[in-house]
Amino acid sequence: MRSFGLAFNARFERWMFLIIPGSLVLGFFFSPWLARFVPAVPYLFAYVTLTMAIGCGFGQLRAVVRRPGVLMLTFLIAHVLSPLIAYGIGTLFFGADSPYVVGFVLFTIIPLGVSTVLWVGMSGGSIPLMLAMVVIDSALSPFVVPGGIHLLFHQAVKTDTWQMIRDLLLIIVIPTIIGVALYALSKGRIQEAVKPVAAPVSKLCFVLVVLLNAAAIAPYAEKLGGDLLRLVPLSLAMVGICYAVGYFGTMFYRNREVQVTVSYATGMRNISLGIVLAMGYFSPLTAVPVVLSILIQQPLATLHHYVLQKLHKTSSGVEG
């Protein structure tokens, strides 16, 4: 059983570049049948967070908080630099008054994505750092999202703050506390002990998250209309830029773990919250770039993982 679980985990990571986009496609095609299971997504996310957190101790998380420089830089790149780039690109192609511009900016100011933790773990980043950033950024999002939209567009946006806090507790805070406590009680041995079962199940849960989110988005994606020829390439470029600014913006640290972590943090955003805000508080046209960017971020995460592995092998070869 142990060897099977570890082999499955290794093969999943090797073929992830096909599995994740394939899950998106299947989610679209089978949306009518899958839509009823979408409420399970937070619980699947919670399990993924738990499996990541059992590899982190209290000491590691304390070390992250004691070095706030990376946290501050990540938030500046994600929620200041990226929105300004999005505003500039959107304005250049559609004009400052276009609802598409609001959509591009909205994608960059919604909080960091929970699924980032899994990608960071698979790509050699820092899970404690990523968990800390997701928790803090999500906690600040009731102020960051409305404030960012108001500053750039002088437009008010209401959010269900208490619902956001409840989601945060379920998806991140409680699983992290449980995972870190289990790590401490087992003196760091639990992750290796449960890895043959926990890791493959975590990967399957992640696939289900992608599948079900695609199913939730499908009804809206079908109504995107004739602007797709411009919006798809621009959304692709915008998400790619978000990954790039995180990676290159932390090059001066000369620390691969930090670069990997921050690049995923700035490139991936909270899928569920993005959809809720876009569809609930703005016009359908505003929602288009958000939906497209959310669809694109997972395939690009797969590509980013592949590029990071190649860069790591190249640098290791040079150092050797």
What is the tens place of the pLDDT at every residue in 234-256? 999 999 999 999 999 999 998 99
Q: From first to last of its 320 residues, what are the pLDDT tens digits of the chain?
A: 677 777 887 888 778 767 878 888 898 899 999 989 988 888 887 888 888 788 777 777 777 777 789 999 999 999 999 999 999 999 999 888 888 898 899 899 988 887 788 889 888 898 888 888 887 887 777 778 878 887 888 766 555 656 666 776 777 778 888 888 898 899 888 888 888 888 889 889 888 988 887 788 777 666 666 677 788 899 999 999 999 999 999 999 989 999 999 999 999 987 666 766 776 667 767 777 887 887 788 789 888 988 888 877 766 555 55
Say how far apart CA 300 and CA 306 lie, in whole Å. Answer: 10
Asked if residue 305 lies in contact with residue 119, where contact means CB atoms within 8 angstroms, the answer is: yes
For residues 303 and 243, the answer to whether their CB atoms sit within 8 Å is no
Over the stretch 184-223, which tens digit does the pLDDT of each residue have? 899 888 888 888 888 889 889 888 988 887 788 777 666 6
Report the candidate in 116, 107, 126, 124 with the shortest Cα–Cα distance to residue 171.
116
How far apart CA 89 and CA 95 sit, in angstroms, is 9
Are 289 and 107 a contacting pair, CB within 8 Å? yes
Per-residue pLDDT, 143:
79
DSSP states of 2-70: HHHHHHHHHHHHHSHHHHHHHHHHHHHHTHHHHGGGGGGHHHHHHHHHHHHHTT--HHHHHHHHH-HHH
Radius of gyration of the chain (CA): 19
One-letter identity of residue 70 = V
Res 30: pLDDT = 92
pLDDT attached to residue 34: 92
Q: What is the pLDDT of residue 215?
A: 84
Distances (CA, A) of 87 to 84, 137, 150: 5, 21, 13
C-alpha–C-alpha distance, residues 76 and 83, integer Å: 10
pLDDT of residue 91: 92
* Phi, psi of 268, rounded to the nearest 5 degrees: -120, 135
Q: So what's the pLDDT on residue 78?
A: 94
pTM: 0.77
